[in-house]
Structure 1
Amino acid sequence: MNREGNLYTFIFAIVMVVIVAFSLAFAATSLKPKQSENVKKEKMQNILGTIGIEVEREAAEEKYKNYIKEELSLVSDGSVDEQSVAFDVDLNKELKLPEDKQHYPLYIAEVEGKKYYVVPLRGAGLWNAIWGYIALEDDLNTIKGVSFDHAGETPGLGAEITQAWFQDSFKGKKIFDGQDELVGITVSKGSGTKGDNEVDAISGATITGDGVTDMVKERLLHYLPYFKKEKTQLALN
């Protein structure tokens, strides 16, 4: 075959495309188990981080088993669906379902004899999805810690929700007001002392901050039936 001809060039290009495509497909398939394992461990890291347990990725699974005592998959009335695996619930998919068809994962942790409740979060920022976890102390009101992440917020602005200074501002805040109404946490602009249900906003990231506000309240509202049952049980004990 004439190597200078168009036919040779065309065949050569096709062969190279096939080889590259096969190589990429093989690499993706080979790496998928490792990638899935890393995603799993990162999720465990984030859950543990909200209760004050900082751990390297490779040690996350062992620490998770030590501190997370229960994984519950709740339904809209606050009861537990024993057939659903909480850790496997994908909030991105659940949010597309009617509220009464969704599952609401809840992780119950114990650290030094104290109980914590960790709720997964998912909402919308300025450009794309935002998500995270919020841990409540055993009064089901006081925030122990939070963890936030995003898909495409602006660096230096909305992306600041991942920074420690912003997340630390949630610690010790309350999700219920003085009338025992769930109000969540408002990411609020303006200087001065913030109330029990407020944290400082990120300068220049109003829409992302509003997204965090909406996300926290919207997700927590679905856990009210369970919280009420827990509080009643605690009062009896």
Structure 2
Amino acid sequence: MSNHKETTTRTLVVALLICLVCSVLVAGAAVALKPIQQANRLLDKQRSILAIAGLSQPGMSGDEIRALYDKRIVARVVDLRTGQFSDEQDPETFDPLAAAKDSRLSSALPDAQDIASINRREHYSTVYLIEREGQLDTLILPVRGYGLWSTMYGFMALKGDLNTVTGFGFYQHGETPGMGGEVDNPRWVAQWPGKKVFDEQQQVAVRVVKGGVNPQSPDAIHQVDALAGATLTSNGVTHLLEFWLGENGFGPFITNLRAGEA
């Protein structure tokens, strides 16, 4: 009986030691790999920004992406509460998505305002500028909102007139492949350049329409065909654009920037 107890105790001790060693190895690997993971996430974001701006080419290496980004893109932080540029955060390190989860750096959205279903909106966000001869050529805005199954994360690029779309797309989502997942289909994405996001009253007019765009309609300049069989995902795209281009998103900033007061 005594030998049996000693064997059981020895087995438990060995198992515990193995668990502790494995935990230390896993924790060590996580710490060691964290800088690499952060660098890869930053590279993916830079790649997406350049692609939306139409600046990158397929097959570019990581070093080429970083060099092109540093040469052409200027990141600036915007205070969404005031619609003004802000120096309160470092645009190269600030993470708006992490800030949205921090009650000190974000605000809960009332249901009536939360048309994109993001729950909280960060106080600060990062925008990306492309300048040419000292003038704004392209403004790239981060956007996100809920589709059918997931939050869709993307960027919208506007010309210097701050109304004409030059590029739009999502870099992360969990929508249904072949249906809502077609938000990253190049053929659907190709419909966006040239569309106008605001109407003559400067209200957000851009939207995804079910049944296809009527090219004879005066509203066609604001519209893109809905995704076949993906009504909720299509509606989600419309809602997230209404939010981020509207008064609770980047709307005040765009107004100030257009007036030279940002």
Structure showing the higher helix proportion among its residues? 1
- Distance in 2 between residues matched to 1:57 and 1:122, nearest whole Å: 25
- Distance in 1 between residues matched to 2:148 and 2:203, nearest whole Å: 28
Partner residue of 1:209? Answer: 234
Q: Counterpart of 1:196 in 2: which secondary structure?
A: helix
Partner residue of 2:172? Answer: 150
- Distance in 2 between residues matched to 1:191 and 1:101, nearest whole Å: 34
Matched, 1:56 2:61: yes
Q: Deviations over 1:2-29 (max 9, x none)?
A: 8x94333323322222222222111111
Partner residue of 2:151? Answer: 129
- Distance in 2 between residues matched to 1:13 and 1:133, nearest whole Å: 49
1:122/1:131 contact within 8 Å kept: yes
Q: Deviations over 1:124-169 (max 9, x none)?
A: 1222221111000011111010120334222222222222222222
1:150/1:159 contact within 8 Å kept: no
2:212/2:226 contact within 8 Å kept: no
Partner residue of 1:47? Answer: 49
Partner residue of 1:10? Answer: 12
Kindly report which structure 2 residues correspond to 1:91-110, keeping only aligned pairs within 5 A, or say none.
91=97, 93-94=99-100, 97-98=106-107, 102-110=123-131
2:182/2:188 contact within 8 Å kept: yes
What is the TM-score of this pair, normalised by structure 2?
0.78
Partner residue of 2:243? Answer: 218
Unaligned runs of 5+ in 2: 110-120
Partner residue of 1:197? Answer: 222
Partner residue of 2:189? Answer: 167
Partner residue of 2:257? Answer: 230
Unaligned runs of 5+ in 1: none
Evaluate the alpha carbon distance shift between residue 111 and residue 34 of structure 1 in structure 2; reply closer, same or farther with a 3 A threshold.
farther
Partner residue of 2:139? Answer: 117
What is the TM-score of this pair, normalised by structure 1?
0.85
Evaluate the alpha carbon distance shift between residue 146 and residue 56 of structure 1 in structure 2; reply closer, same or farther with a 3 A threshold.
farther
Q: Counterpart of 1:123 in 2: which secondary structure?
A: strand
* Pairwise CA distance, 1:39: 0.5
Q: Deviations over 1:51-109 (max 9, x none)?
A: 10124333222111111135232332222211222341323533762379711322111
Evaluate the alpha carbon distance shift between residue 213 and residue 56 of structure 1 in structure 2; reply closer, same or farther with a 3 A threshold.
farther
- Distance in 1 between residues matched to 2:213 and 2:237, nearest whole Å: 20
- Distance in 2 between residues matched to 1:199 and 1:14, nearest whole Å: 59
* Pairwise CA distance, 1:212: 1.4
Equivalent residue in structure 2 for 1:25, among 27, 33, 58: 27
Kindly report which structure 2 residues correspond to 1:169-184, keeping only aligned pairs within 5 A, or say none.
169-183=191-205
Partner residue of 1:85? Answer: 90
Q: CA RMSD in A?
A: 2.8
